Structure 1
Amino acid sequence: MADETIGVVGAGIVGLATAREIALRRPGTRVVVFEKEREVSLHQTGHNSGVVHAGIYYTPGSLKADLTVRGVSLLREYCQDRALPYQEIGKLVVAVREDELGRMENLYERAKNNHVPELRKISKEEIKELEPHAGGVAALHSPRTAITDYPAIARAFAQDITDSGGEVKLGFPVTGITNVPGGIEVSSGQLGVPPAEGWGRVRVDRLILCAGLQSDAVAKLAQDKQEPKIIPFRGEYMLLRQDRTHLVRGLIYPVPDPRYPFLGVHFTPRVDGTVEVGPNAVLALAREGYRRSRISPGDLLGLAAYPGAWRMAAQHWRTGIKEYRGSFSAAVFMKDAKLYVPGVGVQDVVRGGAGVRAQALDRDGTLVDDFRIHQVGRITAVRNAPSPAATASMAIAEHIVGAVFGDA
């Protein structure tokens, strides 16, 4: 129906892309985005590495693989149209030991099945031609892998929404989702505190939840099932000193361990000219715990009460200890990094920023790797949108909107 009102909870890049897709695909539909912060893209989007992933890592045929490949072309075209940064600086996925070559070969076959453009295997000598300061015995080279500015893209999406007649309600924390006759009431406010006039309750015909770090909490308001639960992992970065950034030309990544959804410590040039080293992956003590000192008793209690968290800890405690050692010691942090760029040491880096990943976890302790989207009546809940959600955001939006309106 052309006169419908569609609500979207969350003004990260996935929520904004989804709202924008509705506004473009269904003219006449009113779109309202609800965001608890006073700016868009302050959390996962705003702390993103800026990499536009080409689709190397993902299981062929998975939703993640399909949406990433589609998302890259959409994002590239959007950035070109809006004069937003999009730099194809290329990526090396480097094997530093002979025993990694089998995994690298498997990765190559997976990437070919995902139609990653111009990907090729290169020798130790060819690594040096592309990255004179890099180590490694062999690598995969993806010349079309790019970097961009995701917060700038998110702000452009928000502008597209308002230009189309939609609304982005900032400072509107969603505290209630109630089914009412013919629709849904979205409410905001603290208990016992009257909401500001015009901001307390909004009726929509359908609602899409894209709440990122808060996705399970917001889904609970919508009576969705408990699983998967969001476990926050903080990724901390070092920055190469400005006089050492010349040591890295493009993206330098390790061959990933298939047991984990994290890619390991890598070198990431940014569009502003800086070069990040990292991240590690440590359990955060708050969903928005960008600093070690940030602790949320409520988040910790929720974590302790979830059986999946204990099962995850039993499986991965050794890795967890290693990651925490790197969090407190720059020397330990840089030990892995030096395998890929041997000339870089503790003296060449300073502490950088951090991001928090919304890692979805099932009750059995399994780290959820693919996208998960639930339908609860008139509500669509994006329960897990892992990396590369930013890369795939416009394709995810197409998928969600197609599912909501039945025109996929």
Structure 2
Amino acid sequence: MNYDYSIIGGGIVGLASALELIKRKPSAKIVLLEKESSLAFHQTGHNSGVIHAGVYYQPGSLKAEFCKQGLIDTISFCQQHDIPYLQCGKLLVATNQQELSDMQALATRCEQNGIKVKPLNAKQLQEIEPNIVGLGALQVKDTGIVSYPQICQKLAELFQQAGGEILLSHQVTGLSEQTDKILIDTQHGQISSQYLIACGGLMADRLCNMLKLDIDFQIVPYRGEYYQLQPRHNQLIKHLIYPIPNPDLPFLGVHLTKMIDGSVTVGPNAVQGWSREGYNKGSFNLADTKEMLGFKGFWKVAKQHFRSGLSETKDSMFKSGYLQRVRKYCPSLNIHDLRPYPSGIRAQAVLRDGTLVHDFLFASSQRSLHVCNAPSPAATSAFPIGKYICDKLEQDLSPSK
């Protein structure tokens, strides 16, 4: 099987890149390879469905730029294709003096990023969210919710209608770059491609290693555990309710999220994963664990964030501790309100020196471009990421078609 372009990864980043590429190269033969039997199986299908506005991100970073444009593009796509979405807005709630100070810093960052926010005092917070308590809050009206798997279904449909091909259950087992092509070994035979785009998520580093690229990171999995509130609480909140996050970590804290189906979820936390694709508590993969424990960066980041990691693990083991993270801003909830809900896994790139990579990270060879770190808000940002990838493809790889 011979193609002009091959894309590895059937999540939202891979699909958005595929659609953008075929729009630019309508005569090219393009294939998207997904190792699972369905699309959006991993990170895209296990997130909270939030359309982020870009509150948290360093001004001038790719995260900040992609997220701001991504919100516009995502809503436009939903409107164009009749995909349900809701801009319910978000409240970032401060419950102590330190968080109140951090909230002011977030307000400044929002101003730098051109994001409209409204500071609220405790009384104003209670007026618009009677079940939420805090010393103050930031209201972000642009934040929304959507089903990202539904967006993926439409992306796949449009890609195929334009002439693209999608091959499910095609796990990549090997990559070899030659002067004029890349050979892709899969479970169902070999594919020859002029150029390769890899959007492998949890397997991003392994795809780079197949081509022996000189990379300085490894993917370390963090499991995000969720609960769902009892249906009687579906009207508990009008906005998404977030805590003020720890600025040193790339996690946003346990939050209350209105879902597009009308339910309300609680989460996620951030627990060390011992299996890259193990979504259940107690999931363990020997090969994944040995690889992680043999990576110096893992030990350095674990040591640096030992106390927070211990706290996350404790509250994962004891539901009462998890509940307290929510009760600090929503005291009416009790332990019986938290029902089981599927977990997600964050593919976090960690450098050898123990640095958590906060922004998007790319690597390339003469004929391949790899998305190495696509952190939250990657789902929100998928459309501008796809454009960026295609721009880099044209600039760096100088494809002939």
Q: TM-score range by the shorter chain?
A: over 0.9
Q: Are 2:228 and 1:228 equivalent residues in the alignment?
A: no
Alignment of structure 1 residues 256-335 onto 2, 5 Å: 256-335=245-324
**Structure 1: stretches of 5+ with no match in the other structure:** 190-198
| Equivalent in the alignment of 2:105 | 106
| Equivalent in the alignment of 1:96 | 95
Structure 1 SS opposite 2:192? strand
Cα deviation for residue 26 of structure 1 reads 2.0
Deviant stretches of 4+, over 4 Å:
none
Cα deviation for residue 330 of structure 1 reads 1.1
> What letter corresponds to residue 263 of structure 1 in structure 2?
L
1:355 is aligned, of 331, 334, 344, to 344
State the superposition RMSD in angstroms.
1.4
Cα deviation, 1:190-225, whole Å, max 9, x if unaligned, reads xxxxxxxxx411111110110001111111112222
Q: Are 2:68 and 1:69 equivalent residues in the alignment?
A: yes
| Aligned counterparts of 1:379 and 1:127: Cα–Cα separation in 2 | 50
Alignment of structure 1 residues 11-50 onto 2, 5 Å: 11-50=10-49
Cα deviation for residue 162 of structure 1 reads 0.6
| Aligned counterparts of 1:214 and 1:389: Cα–Cα separation in 2 | 16
TM-score of the superposed pair, with normalisation by structure 1: 0.95
Q: Are 2:359 and 1:374 equivalent residues in the alignment?
A: no
Percent identity at matched positions? 38
> What letter corresponds to residue 182 of structure 1 in structure 2?
D
Contact residue 78 and residue 85 of structure 2 kept, 8 A: yes
Contact residue 198 and residue 204 of structure 2 kept, 8 A: yes
Cα deviation for residue 350 of structure 1 reads 1.3
Structure 1 SS opposite 2:261? coil
| Equivalent in the alignment of 1:172 | 170
Cα deviation for residue 99 of structure 1 reads 2.2
| Equivalent in the alignment of 1:140 | 138
Which region of structure 1 is more displaced relative to structure 2, 124-133 or 13-22? 124-133
| Aligned counterparts of 2:48 and 2:251: Cα–Cα separation in 1 | 13
1:127 is aligned, of 125, 144, 150, to 125
| Aligned counterparts of 1:238 and 1:292: Cα–Cα separation in 2 | 13
Contact residue 3 and residue 31 of structure 2 kept, 8 A: no
| Aligned counterparts of 1:144 and 1:318: Cα–Cα separation in 2 | 34
| Aligned counterparts of 2:83 and 2:54: Cα–Cα separation in 1 | 21
Structure 2 SS opposite 1:92? strand
Cα deviation for residue 31 of structure 1 reads 1.3
Cα deviation for residue 160 of structure 1 reads 1.1
Contact residue 256 and residue 264 of structure 1 kept, 8 A: yes
Cα deviation, 1:98-135, whole Å, max 9, x if unaligned, reads 2222211110111111122x311111111112211001
| Aligned counterparts of 1:44 and 1:97: Cα–Cα separation in 2 | 32
Contact residue 233 and residue 264 of structure 2 kept, 8 A: no
| Aligned counterparts of 2:242 and 2:97: Cα–Cα separation in 1 | 16
Contact residue 242 and residue 274 of structure 1 kept, 8 A: yes
**Structure 2: stretches of 5+ with no match in the other structure:** none
TM-score of the superposed pair, with normalisation by structure 2: 0.96
Contact residue 3 and residue 192 of structure 2 kept, 8 A: no
| Aligned counterparts of 2:237 and 2:343: Cα–Cα separation in 1 | 21
Structure 2 SS opposite 1:321? helix
2:383 is aligned, of 388, 394, 405, to 394
Cα deviation for residue 4 of structure 1 reads 6.9
Contact residue 22 and residue 29 of structure 1 kept, 8 A: no
> What letter corresponds to residue 254 of structure 2 in structure 1?
V
